[in-house]
Structure 1
């Protein structure tokens, strides 16, 4: 592995599993000092140990519920006390549930927005201010192809991810004068624990096998674009094209979504 991130500090939320875990290890493999944030302290410690072996430098663990503002604030203070600068913030934390909206529990929708959107925004605001002062840095927010292409049984989740995408678009404009970059990553379905919560029947995973992504491949691409001016990373390419098609031909897109993409 290269040392392209040597002396760089990478903060990752949702670091205990899935894409977040993979980004931790990919960053550490390139020499970065990584800061791991998630709720499960045991898993974070295991991944941090692996990261230290890869990077030969520090790896910090801060157990935090991104859905709780007081915990975010406390963790931010610990981060600032531990490192001299923050180069990259990767907001991976999030979850979803696949149910028809009229049959869903509104508390689930509230919780999704609390973690996927509000927690992300609150933490980004704290870290972003530091980056503004330093006149450098990059914020990477995880949206989803679901925030671009509507499918049934994902109203609240898709809405939360659409909010992340538009929030990131505006934030990019506001932080540009300060030299801070913002990139949105919008993956399609990924082989992670996400579907253990979102799709308890397993039907959706079976129906989208052709589009499923490996979290390590996603992590490699995300880290590859660290420091770049790329606005969005949409994966896989087939769904990225589908998202553009939907924007151009939404009526036809609705028909295709109902017949092909909504088999949850």
Structure 2
């Protein structure tokens, strides 16, 4: 039975997920199909994997990784090891808490690596401790950057016959990232978490690209030859900073802005 057959067979995802939970997390209550989802949804075709992802964030990342490696492998998801690695780390991201390695050298490298994977030249990187622009304009920047990439992901998924796998991975990544932000930003007032949409989109698209990572030939045809562009952005978030993007794409003096929260200066690189 291939991946597509497993995903279309009623209850197959639930059965496999339960087997993996029993193997790696014996004693965890598994969500029953009854009375868990709206009646308008067919429980046999609806995956409970996003709910499992949220519950498992209370456990060590290594234990989560073992579960996802096993479960996604059983479901015959392509690139399951890489997916397991990313998903298992989402819950431990220190959102908006700059880490020791969040220095100018490391952040600049990640920005330029991101731009390189989008076939863009390097630009100066500006670090700031507050937003500096209206959130609405920042949201527009997010949509502008991601539109071409999102189109490439959709096209590659369709050609590769992984539309259902893509949907499931997106739900897992979306719910995992949202829950991680909610649980790990209690030190921040709600009106300061203006970057939530961008973070969720980054990790969701990053996981989706990883699902399709082996189709480098198809991504190359869409103009992306240097790998997953979301990996560097995810690393910036893991460093506790917020990649805001290029403020004015029509200006000749382009600058990429990174938010270093809590009025903390960018750390000086260790010599």
- TM-score bracket for the superposition, by shorter chain length: 0.3 to 0.5
Greater relative contact order structure (CA < 8 Å, 6+ sep): 2
Higher strand share: 1
> What's the TM-score once normalised by structure 2's chain length?
0.32
